[in-house]
Amino acid sequence: MTTDASALPVDQRAVDALAASGLRYGLLDTSDRAAFEAWFAADARGFAESRISESVMASNVEHLAVNRTTGVWDDSIPNAEVPVATVNSWVTELTVPGPVVAPAWAVSSVTVAPTHRRRGVARAMMEAELRVAHSAGVPMAILTASEATLYSRYGYAPATSAASVEVDRRRVSWAAPVPSGRVHFVEAADLLPDAIAISARAVRRSPGEVARWTGFFPRYLALNKPGSDVARALRTVRYDDADGVAQGWAAYHIDEKGPETRVLMVDVREAATDDAARGLWRFLLEHDFVTSIHADLRSIDEPLKWLVDDARGVRWMHVSDHLWVRILDTAAALEARRYETPGALELVVDDPLGFANGRFLLDIAAGGRASVTALDDESEPTAPVLRLSVNDLGAIYLGGYRPSMLAAAGRIEADDAAIRLADRLFAAERTPHLSIWF
């Protein structure tokens, strides 16, 4: 399997398809600073963001040059150096049930200029990403979706959920056991090495989390915006356990919405242990001079209401899908994760794009390890059969959505015994969750 996405050749089918529309598709030479800055300008425009400051641009160029950076250009327009479409990708580590780590093709920065819609640009780019990832031997592709309907047509499906949570500071008091360690204020630059080390452990705890890239930390510690209002407002803390080992960190700021309304906005909270998670929550919940605490992208299983004396002071909002998964190699993906119980199940997967389709026998031994055998069309089933699309396989892969729920929706075809078995097999030891955008 190839892990350096940037070294892979351009997809010729996409080159030809877009050339027929008068467009130029290709890989960006990230050593060309001017071209790279033009690409980032298109990316920001595509997400309706402000023009990028010099310090943020310098950080982007420094930390994202190793990724596979792709664009579409229209040489007939003014400012032709700015691409009319962008996509960025790399091979990352995805935590899957076990918990264990599996390789995944991360897709990000998907934009198409509104001036170039309905010309097949998005389809050419998205299918090219899948072909390149598949040829490199990467078993699945992943993304976080700003559009809820776009990516299903390419075989992706939501695999994790996330929620925003708001806590009424005036209504709740701490009711859980006192954490064993201490919280310390640490300046962002000094926190950086500990944040990187803690994060590397924290993402291994929950299916759906992905390895953080180097540019993640300067962004969320506001180190890429020195002297800015954002950097001045940010506060950063570290949690050390009873032995003095750094096990958690958080970054937050206070949003003053009125003379008597001050909201503590949690920008990042990462914990390598449950004790650290509790310690950070206690610190945030007991912060002075705030009326509420707000955090986005929290797990739908976050035990927050069990930490306070009034669970109704914790309000969950905006529960939505977050990480989307697209299986590219059914056998490799199924063998990469672990399972909750021994058993055997036959999966008949329909993939219109042809990457993951076929009949597969999933045989799970004691201990949760699986072997997968491709079956021919004529052989008789030797195990309960599940018929499903590649989208539905992606949805159940991390354990975030039960096969029985999709069967009730008419999306999975199987008898009751097969569905009950599939529910047991695909369950995860921890609710899948991704706590960032990428």
Tell whether domain 163-319 is in CATH 3.40.630.30: yes
Burial class (CB in 10 A: 0-12, 13-18, 19+), 193: exposed
Domain positions in the chain are: 5-138, 163-319, 329-426
Q: 3-class SS at 305? A: helix
What are the per-10-residue average pLDDT scores of the chain (438 residues)? 91 98 97 98 97 96 96 98 98 98 98 97 98 98 92 98 97 96 98 98 98 97 97 98 98 93 98 98 97 98 97 96 98 97 98 98 97 94 97 98 98 97 97 98
Q: At what angle do helices 12-19 and 121-135 cross, to 10 degrees?
A: 170
The residues pairing with 254 across neighbouring beta strands, listed in sequence order, are: 264
Q: Residue 398, Cα to own-chain centre: how many angstroms?
A: 12
* Residue from 25, 151, 339, 397 carrying the catalytic annotation: 151
Equal CATH topology for 163-319 and 329-426: no
**Pairwise CA distance, residues 420 & 424, whole Å:** 7
Q: For residue 105, what are its two tokens?
A: 């093709």
pLDDT at 95: 98
Q: At what angle do helices 416-426 and 390-397 cross, to 10 degrees?
A: 50
Residue 188 region by backbone torsions, left for phi larger than 0, else alpha for psi between -120 and 50, else beta: alpha
Q: 3-class SS at 137? A: coil
- State yes or no: is 438 an active-site residue: yes
Residue type, 432: P
Give pTM, 2 decimals: 0.97
Q: For residue 417, what are its two tokens?
A: 């015994």
Of the candidate CATH numbers 3.40.630.30, 1.25.40.10, 3.30.450.20, 3.40.50.150, the domain formed by 5-138 belongs to: 3.40.630.30
420: nearest Cα among 367, 384, 368, 372: 384
- State yes or no: is 217 an active-site residue: no
Q: Annotated binding site for acetyl-CoA, which residues? A: 110-112, 118-123, 146-147
Q: Name the CATH topology of 329-426.
A: Nonspecific Lipid-transfer Protein; Chain A (3.30.1050)
Residue type, 46: G
pLDDT at 146: 87
Q: 3-class SS at 54? A: helix
